[in-house]
Chain A
Amino acid sequence: MCGATTGGLGVEGIDVTKESVIQGVVSRGGEPVGGAYVRLLDGGGEFTAEVPTSATGHFRFFAAPGQWTLRTLAPGASVDRQVVAVLGGVAEVSVELPT
């Protein structure tokens, strides 16, 4: 498996102008982590959505504009990252898990 690439997910077929996309990749020691769970928490810390990462470590959310927290769960790890989503934009986030 080659190293994780950032910004790797294409947005073909999605009308990005109407969406506030948050996406990215989860890695550990530079290698992508598939099957990790990424949760999207709103400005009040409330759960909004959760997805497992793909085999290439990628994830994507269609959020609303504003401040969000990404909480990544994997065996033995939980990592929080802050992100701001904007309408018509794609916020890219790289999550590095502790080795």
Chain B
Amino acid sequence: MSRSDVLVDADWVEAHLDDPTVVLVEVDEDVSAYDTNHIRGAVRIDWRDDLQDPVRRDFVNQQQFEALLSRKGIGNDDTVVLYGGNNNWFASYAYWYFTLYGHRDVRLLDGGRKKWELDGRELVAEVVERPATTYAAQPQDASIRAFRDDVTAAIGSLNLVDVRSPDEYAGRLLAPAHLPQEQSQRAGHVPTALNVPWSKAANDDGTFKADEELLALYGGAGLDFGKDTIAYCRIGERSAHTWFVLHELLDQPNVRNYDGSWTEYGSLVGVPVQLGDAPGAPEGGQA
């Protein structure tokens, strides 16, 4: 897979605004951003209401995903281009979802909404209604999703990549700093996890860095490219961004996203936790 199969730039999107085989989808943390304005023709997917099960903590299942895409007017043969705010965090999360359920052609807009805005490109308030489709999803691809037992089993053996900010990794913050910090779970990180903040893979304008820079970044941080990798963050959206980098841009074969991430791991009873700036030993502890 090459970069152009999974990533498009803003010029590409502008050239395909009226292409009936291309569906633009905006996915934001702030779900009201779409209401203010969006790229012409784009539909919205709400990362919480549309992609999470309404009762238990899990994803929508295959049938719910089929119903969602059918309702949004997305067909199996459409090229889906995802973009959003927060440097594409939630667009990457949705990309991972589309891949999990086997969508054939899904791509990210490099730089997302921010780059588009900083470029001064056109945004509109008009909402489009696409005719409904009959979408058929594949069963979940278990090879790209990690669960808590996979994570505890990976301590000290596989690559664990904590993509949160250094202060969250060390246990000085419990959430990204645009959110209140009061939380119930313990602070820190999974012992032996490397800290490679997602932001190191992106430029200030939200675009991804070049492949050579990305290889140097993860190699320099101590990632062993000969081993399987599990990425995690707080709720699985920033780690979807890193999953995209490692699996889609750098073609690493066995990379999984742990969507339970720190809000699950930091609440588990009896698992080892490491505080401080170093990865630590498998049994965890205070640096």
Contact = CB atoms under 8 A, between A and B. Distances in A.
A51 B87 CA distance: 10
A61 B175 CA distance: 11
Given A15-B182, A50-B87, A75 B177 contact: no
B44 interface: no
B55 interface: no
A40 B177 contact: yes
Nearest to A20: B181
Nearest to A46: B166
Given A42-B167, A64-B173, A75-B118, A49 B178 contact: yes
A42 B182 CA distance: 20
A18 interface: yes
A28 to B, nearest CB: 15
Interface residue tally on B, bucketed by range: 20 to 34
Contacts of B117: 35, 75
Interface string B168-208: 00001101111111100000000000000101100011000
Q: Is the interface of A mostly helix, strand, loop or mixed?
A: strand
B120 interface: yes
A60 interface: yes
B165 A46 contact: yes
A48 B177 contact: yes
Given A37-B114, A47-B165, A52-B85, A78 B177 contact: no
Interface residue tally on A, bucketed by range: 20 to 34
Contact of A62 (B87, B119, B181): B181
B86 interface: yes
Contacts of A14: 180
A49 B182 contact: no
Interface string B84-114: 0111000000000000000000000000001
Interface of B: 30, 33, 85-87, 114, 117-120, 165-167, 172-173, 175-182, 197, 199-200, 204-205
Report the 4 A-B pairs with minimum CB-CB distance, sorted nearest first.
A47-B199, A49-B177, A49-B178, A48-B165
Interface of A: 14-15, 18-19, 35, 37, 39-40, 42, 44, 46-52, 60-64, 71, 73-75, 78
13 contacts: A14-B180, A18-B181, A39-B204, A40-B177, A48-B166, A48-B167, A48-B176, A48-B177, A52-B114, A62-B181, A73-B114, A73-B118, A75-B120
